[in-house]
Amino acid sequence: MKNRSFLQRIIGAPYVLWAAIFIVVPLLIVAYYAFTDPAGAFTLDNIRNLTDYGTIFRESIVYSVVATLIALVLAYPFAYVMSRKREKTQQIMMVLVMLPMWMSLLILTYSWMGILERNGIINSLLAKIGVAPLNLIGTPAAVIFGMVYNYIPYMILPIYSVMSKIDPSVLEAAEDLGSGSASKLYRVILPLSMPGVVSGITMVFVPSVSTFYISQKLGDGKILLVGDVIERQIQAQNNYNAGAALSLVLMVLIVLSLALMKLFAGEGDDNLYV
Amino acid sequence: MKRFASILLAALMAAVPLTASSCGGNTSISSPRASYTKDLAGTTLNVFNWGEYISDGSEGSLNVNKAFEALTGIHVNYNTFDSNESMYAKLSSGAVSYDVVIPSDYMIERMIREDMLQPLDPAKLTNYDLIDDQYKNLFYDPDNTYSVPYNVGLVGLIYNTTMVEGTPDSWSVMWDEKYADNILTIDNPRDAFGIAQFLVGVDVNSTDKADWDKAAEKLKEQNKVLQGRVMDQVFAKMEGGNAAIAPYYAGDFLTMVGNNPDLAFVYPKEGTNIFVDAACVPKNAANYEAAMMYINFLMEPEVALANAEFICYASPNTAVVNNPDYEYYGEEILYPDPANLPPTEYFHDIDPEIRSYYEKLWEGILLAG
């Protein structure tokens, strides 16, 4: 693909333009704000002040790593099972996975507030069978649950798409050559599905680590993540510079973790999403 | 899958006109006090107000914006914000142009100081005599040059009588370990600090950092008993009996008690915050004359009454307050007798250095809890 034809360039042009206007330029603006003071003069103070936020970066990463791992553990077997079903069943399962994505994250999260509340749906049901109410909302578990719930489709879909492309004859060959089901999984399916896993992890980790709405609503305003601090800086304190510095560092952290993951996953994969 | 999608789509499309038709309501007023012309018919007026802060025609109420359109032919483009700060952020970015905004007192003070507002034309505001004198010449706009009061209100303590013993009379109940995990506070630094400041006895508008430190210490102690920091979620939390105690605006208590009669309300003895939300015209307004007409229209007795009954906040309009048919006529929570009311304080605009100082303290409190 080194020598792109004229036609290929023409076809790619609209997206290149789109990316330049809506991705590259905004990134440059973020960088500009991060390194300037309100008067527009160059400064490193915004970056230096970030040392106050060490804990919050650490916590945001822990929350989103846990959420990503849970999503992976749930999604991987599901995607495998789904990819081995009849065509018709696969389509139904696909719709079920996508259905929540058709609703706004705001509405989904707001609904979960009502379900997880002290006198919410879960606790009312528990009360009916004589179980003491649980503290669900306002806990780290609620926030992690919200992340898993909202982003798990982004884990299932890429893994499923890779798995459904595994040629059944490859699996048959593994069996013919004496692979048990365990070794078939570890030596054939897992390596072949790795690109999907890497994409899935990326697509769950990135929105989780930068979320603010889920933590605000399901954390009862007590659990603060980087996204919340950024939102507060921009909306409440009108401090674009500090907000931009936080965003910039968050982006660098995300890029670093993606690079690290690519290293582990092995290079040269024809990966669609990373 | 295709068929399934089309069924869903059809269902969605069927639902749209349903929601649109639910906000009809009354769209005209019977006897306007001022005279309105159609001179500006066809122009657009951009209004920026708090969410859920105007009678919108639901449940048979008056649709204020539609009534204004019927009377003047001016198209009202209505947008909402959820905090003074986010309103300010939007306006100061320069990316928007509004003709009428309705911020709170301290924000108006700040916007006047930063030259973001323009003087109103008293000759056009013929209904201004209806505004109660006690809401004129206030600190934020001493000569009533820039603003016309829209709503007034007080912060108080809402509690659930089945969960709280006796009648709490002090903010200190919000620190009581007996109610640990059942206490809410307002998720906004100025209000949360205000409560702690009343309790520890320092000025809510103090310019002394030590005073803010003192209040911040108090707020940190509260972390261990707090169930959460909320804004609008307070309705679901208190109405559903999910929490026992929450400070909030008196007008909103009336909405909540309608849905949960176990709730009660008190003005704590240490004192509380009083506020005025007032209509202003930003410097970059594009339709000044229409803005004057709209602000005058908001003071119309019929309009102000509809708003007061819809929003449930106290009205600064004497035509509403003195109207025996007003749903909250003489309602003691909204219109307390000054003799029974603890000291009240307005929040003033605070100098930027103190502001970023308390924002920093607030962040520390959030991170500690």
Nearest to B50 by CA among B89, B19, B8, B79: B79
In order of A136, B15, B128, the CA distances from B12 in angstroms are 32, 5, 46
pLDDT confidence of residue B17? 45
Band of pLDDT at residue B1, cut at 50, 70 and 90: very low
Residue B3 CB contacts under 8 Å (≥ 6 apart), including other chains: none
Residue B344: both structure tokens together? 């009240």
pLDDT reading at B363 higher than 50: yes
The reply to whether residue B367 touches residue A55, judged by beta carbons under 8 angstroms, is yes
Categorise residue B141: left if φ over 0, alpha if ψ from -120 to 50, beta otherwise.
beta
pLDDT confidence of residue B24? 54
Band of pLDDT at residue A263, cut at 50, 70 and 90: confident
DSSP A177: T
Residue B228: both structure tokens together? 């959460």
CB-CB neighbors (< 8 A) of A94 in chain B: 1
In angstroms and rounded to an integer, the radius of gyration of the C-alpha atoms of chain B is 22
Longest CA pairwise span in chain A (Å): 72
The pLDDT of A55-62, averaged and rounded, is 93
Are B119 and B248 contacting, i.e. CB atoms less than 8 angstroms apart?
no
**Separation CA B47–CA B81 (nearest Å):** 11
Q: Is B239 on the interface with A (CB under 8 A)?
A: no
**Separation CA B163–CA B185 (nearest Å):** 17
Return the H-helix or E-strand segment holding A259: helix A240-265
What letter represents residue A90's amino acid? Q
pLDDT confidence of residue A237? 84
pLDDT confidence of residue A181? 83
pLDDT reading at B11 higher than 90: no
B159 bridge partner residues? B245, B264
pLDDT reading at B22 higher than 80: no
Residue A125 burial (C-beta neighbours within 10 Å; 0-12, 13-18, 19+): exposed
Q: Which is more confident, A171 or A92?
A: A92
**Separation CA A247–CA A140 (nearest Å):** 23
pLDDT tens digits for range B205-240: 999 999 999 999 999 999 999 999 998 899 999 999
Looking at the complex, report in whole angstroms how far the Cα of residue B4 sits from the nearest Cα belonging to chain A: 9
CB-CB neighbors (< 8 A) of B240 in chain A: 117-120
Are A80 and A165 contacting, i.e. CB atoms less than 8 angstroms apart?
no
Band of pLDDT at residue A7, cut at 50, 70 and 90: confident
Percent of chain B with pLDDT over 70: 93
Question: CB-hemisphere CA count at 13 Å for B320?
Answer: 30
The reply to whether residue B240 touches residue A234, judged by beta carbons under 8 angstroms, is no
Nearest CA in chain B to A94: B1
ipTM of the complex: 0.81
The pLDDT of A206-222, averaged and rounded, is 93
B79 bridge partner residues? B48
Minimal Cβ distance to B89: which of A92, A119, A238:
A238
The pLDDT of A166-190, averaged and rounded, is 87
Percent of chain A with pLDDT over 70: 95
- B148-160 vs B245-249, strand pairing mode: antiparallel
In order of A60, A61, A151, B122, B158, the CA distances from A205 in angstroms are 10, 9, 9, 57, 40
Return the H-helix or E-strand segment holding A266: none
pLDDT confidence of residue B16? 47
Looking at the complex, report in whole angstroms how far the Cα of residue A94 sits from the nearest Cα belonging to chain B: 9
The pLDDT of A93-122, averaged and rounded, is 93
The reply to whether residue A220 touches residue B86, judged by beta carbons under 8 angstroms, is no
pLDDT reading at A139 higher than 90: yes
**Separation CA B98–CA B285 (nearest Å):** 5
- B75-81 vs B245-249, strand pairing mode: unpaired
Residue B303: both structure tokens together? 């309009």
CATH superfamily to which B25-147+280-321 belongs: Periplasmic binding protein-like II (3.40.190.10)
A42 bridge partner residues? A36
Band of pLDDT at residue A267, cut at 50, 70 and 90: low
The reply to whether residue A221 touches residue B229, judged by beta carbons under 8 angstroms, is yes
Domain boundaries, chain B: 25-147+280-321, 153-274+337-368
Q: How far apart are the first and last CA of chain B?
A: 48
Looking at the complex, report in whole angstroms how far the Cα of residue A50 sits from the nearest Cα belonging to chain B: 12
The reply to whether residue A114 touches residue B236, judged by beta carbons under 8 angstroms, is yes
- B44-50 vs B148-160, strand pairing mode: unpaired
B230 bridge partner residues? B186
The reply to whether residue A117 touches residue B240, judged by beta carbons under 8 angstroms, is yes
pLDDT reading at A68 higher than 80: yes
pLDDT confidence of residue A26? 95
Q: Is B318 on the interface with A (CB under 8 A)?
A: no
pLDDT confidence of residue A3? 63
Interface of A with B in 189-248 (CB under 8 A): 217, 219-222, 224, 229, 232, 234-239
The reply to whether residue B363 touches residue A232, judged by beta carbons under 8 angstroms, is yes
**Separation CA B183–CA B173 (nearest Å):** 9
Q: Is A49 on the interface with B (CB under 8 A)?
A: no
Minimal Cβ distance to B367: which of A120, A224, A236:
A224
Residue B31 CB contacts under 8 Å (≥ 6 apart), including other chains: B302
What CATH fold (topology level) applies to the domain B153-274+337-368? D-Maltodextrin-Binding Protein; domain 2 (3.40.190)
pLDDT confidence of residue B6? 52
**Separation CA B266–CA B247 (nearest Å):** 10
Other CB atoms within 10 Å distance of the CB of residue B90: 17
**Separation CA B47–CA A74 (nearest Å):** 48
Domain boundaries, chain A: 53-265
The pLDDT of B291-300, averaged and rounded, is 98
Nearest to B64 by CA among B249, B236, B307, B257: B307
Angle at A166 between CA A163 and CA A172, to 5 degrees: 125
Mutate to test the interface with B, among A60, A110, A118 (most CBs of B within 10 A): A118
In order of A121, B150, B329, the CA distances from B143 in angstroms are 53, 17, 29
pLDDT reading at A273 higher than 50: no
Q: Does domain A53-265 have CATH number 3.40.1650.10?
A: no
In order of B186, B309, B346, B348, the CA distances from B194 in angstroms are 10, 28, 10, 12
Looking at the complex, report in whole angstroms how far the Cα of residue A11 sits from the nearest Cα belonging to chain B: 29
Nearest to B247 by CA among B331, B314, B174: B174
The reply to whether residue A118 touches residue B243, judged by beta carbons under 8 angstroms, is yes
Q: Which is more confident, A236 or B22?
A: A236
The pLDDT of B316-343, averaged and rounded, is 95
Percent of chain B with pLDDT over 90: 84
pLDDT confidence of residue A2? 55
The reply to whether residue A237 touches residue B85, judged by beta carbons under 8 angstroms, is yes
Minimal Cβ distance to A222: which of B226, B233, B359:
B226
The pLDDT of B277-291, averaged and rounded, is 97
Q: Name the average pLDDT for chain A.
A: 90
pLDDT reading at B243 higher than 90: yes
How many residue pairs from chains A and B have C-beta atoms closer than 8 A?
Answer: 67
Residue A224 CB contacts under 8 Å (≥ 6 apart), including other chains: A56, A59, A215, B366, B367
pLDDT confidence of residue B18? 43
pLDDT tens digits for range B28-39: 898 899 999 999
Q: How far apart are the first and last CA of chain A?
A: 18
Dihedrals phi, psi of B153, to nearest 5 degrees:
-165, 170
